[in-house]
């Protein structure tokens, strides 16, 4: 991206792991480059008549599935004559990378969660298009400008 150039990052998702986490990781990555002249920031989205945008989020949890057996009660009193041997998915939510790895979440990285400097990144300048606001699917958009 040339100096002064603007990159549009957009997804058809409302999952912060695919949206704000990616933008935060990119901004933090640019900040660690050995070329101090390279800087980037999230810039405000233009106002468009008839389009309602919600701000980006700065707090989110990360989900992971675990699988286990499900006991099925047959008599309505909790007693079970048989057990379902199939693996049943259960969704677990994690507040932090440490909590997730401690619980055994595989294939995870710290950048899935909000970074410590999340309030400095301007993620609230990203936009979220919600189905109930715009009669559309869920979308996310961020404009990132290179200084």
Nearest to 128 by CA among 62, 63, 43, 52: 52
Which is catalytic among the residues 8, 12, 126, 136?
A: 12
Q: Please count the other Cβ atoms lying within 10 Å of the Cβ belonging to residue 5.
A: 10
- 12 part of the active site: yes
Q: Residue 52: CB partners within 8 Å, gap ≥ 6?
A: 129, 130, 133, 134
- H-run or E-run covering 64: strand 62-71
For tokens 């009660």, the residue is: 73
Q: Which residues are catalytic?
A: 12
């Amino acid at each position: 991206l040339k100096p002064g150039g603007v990159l549009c990052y957009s997804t058809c998702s409302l999952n912060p792991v695919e949206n704000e986490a990616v933008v935060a990781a990119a901004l933090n990555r640019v900040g660690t480059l050995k070329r101090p002249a390279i800087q980037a920031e999230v810039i405000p989205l233009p106002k468009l008549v008839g389009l309602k945008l919600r701000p980006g989020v700065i707090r989110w949890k990360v989900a992971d599935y675990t699988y286990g057996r499900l006991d099925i009660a047959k008599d309505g009193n909790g007693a079970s004559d048989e057990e379902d041997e199939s693996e049943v998915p259960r969704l677990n939510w994690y507040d932090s990378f440490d909590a997730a790895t401690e619980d055994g979440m595989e294939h995870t990285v710290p950048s899935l969660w909000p970074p410590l400097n999340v309030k400095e990144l301007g993620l609230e300048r990203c936009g979220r298009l919600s189905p109930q606001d715009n009669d559309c699917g869920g979308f996310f958009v961020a404009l990132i400008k290179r200084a």
